[in-house]
Amino acid sequence: MGKRANPAFAVAVILIPFTALGYAVTVASIQQHTYVHVMAGVLWTGIGIFIGAVLGPVIGGLDDEQSAALFKRLTPKTAFLLPSLATVTIAGGLTLAQRLGLFENAEPWLALFTAVNLIPVLLLLGWRLEAWSDWRWQLPFAAAAIGSLTWVATTIGQLQMIDPSLGIALAIVTILSIQGFGFLMPGELRMYKEMRSDHPDPSIIASIGRQNAMLGGVQGFFQLLLILDMVYLRYGGFPL
């Protein structure tokens, strides 16, 4: 897939965001950390809205051959770009909230957040990719499930109430994470698998692509809700 995406592009869209995240959570100032989080979020949200509101209707007017040709070029790039931006946005936001003092006693909540994200995402990946019987899926799933549930078990006694707006943010991020990593990403992998088959079926590629485009619009909507909630959380209300 990296070759189809352009190897330089694939490396850059992973290396640059994660390098920025590493800098933000180690030596960066709060302002620089905020910039990394906001910029990754703006790109992630903007691409999602563009795919759902602009590209989706365009694709709807194309036949299967035309849609498949478009997704053959688009999918290899979004398969690297969107998960990278999503991960950096989420990780940057959680660590920034802790630095700002908005997420006190974070560990038990992060343990729960990890479990309710990892386990459903991996289950969906196994289902969507028909990999439940494959040990290459079973081992990561077992490790993630045991590790995350153990973390929950060892920290649940420290759980305390948090600001409702922060709880809403965690819930929305969970929805985005499950949608993105549990539906969009395996959809892109299924399209890529079909593209590489001996006799690619344009109708299959086009069908999965249209589903992903619609879900991209849903992601954009939830991302806008998340931004609204983040403004409320950061500034304690909206100016009238």
**Does residue 134 lie in a domain region?**
no
Domain assignment of residue 136, yes or no: no
* pLDDT tops 60 at residue 237: no
Q: Tens of pLDDT along 123-148?
A: 999 998 889 999 999 999 999 999 99
Question: Which pLDDT score is estimated for 240?
Answer: 39
User: Does the residue 156 lie in any domain?
Assistant: no
* Mean pLDDT computed over 158-162: 89
Residue 203 structural domain: 2-104+162-235
Any domain includes 112: no
Residue with tokens 């992998």: 189
On whether residue 177 sits in a domain, the answer given is: yes
The Cα 47–Cα 37 span in angstroms is 16
- pTM (predicted TM-score): 0.88
- Mean pLDDT for the chain overall: 89
- Residue 68 has a pLDDT of 86
Look up residue 198 and give its DSSP letter. Answer: S
**What's the pLDDT tens digit per position in 12-42?**
999 999 999 999 999 999 999 999 999 999 9
pLDDT, residue 170, reads 93
Classify residue 153: in a domain, yes or no. no
Q: Does residue 24 form part of some domain?
A: yes
Instruction: Quickly list DSSP for 66-134.
Output: HHHHHHHHHHHHHHHHHHHHHHHHHHHHHHHHHHTTSS-SHHHHHHHHHHHHHHHHHHHHHHHTT-TT-
Domain count along the chain: 1
Widest CA span in the chain = 60
pLDDT at residue 198 above 80?
yes
- pLDDT confidence band for 238 (50 / 70 / 90): very low
The band of 94, judged by pLDDT with boundaries at 50, 70 and 90, is very high
Is the pLDDT reported for residue 173 higher than 80?
yes
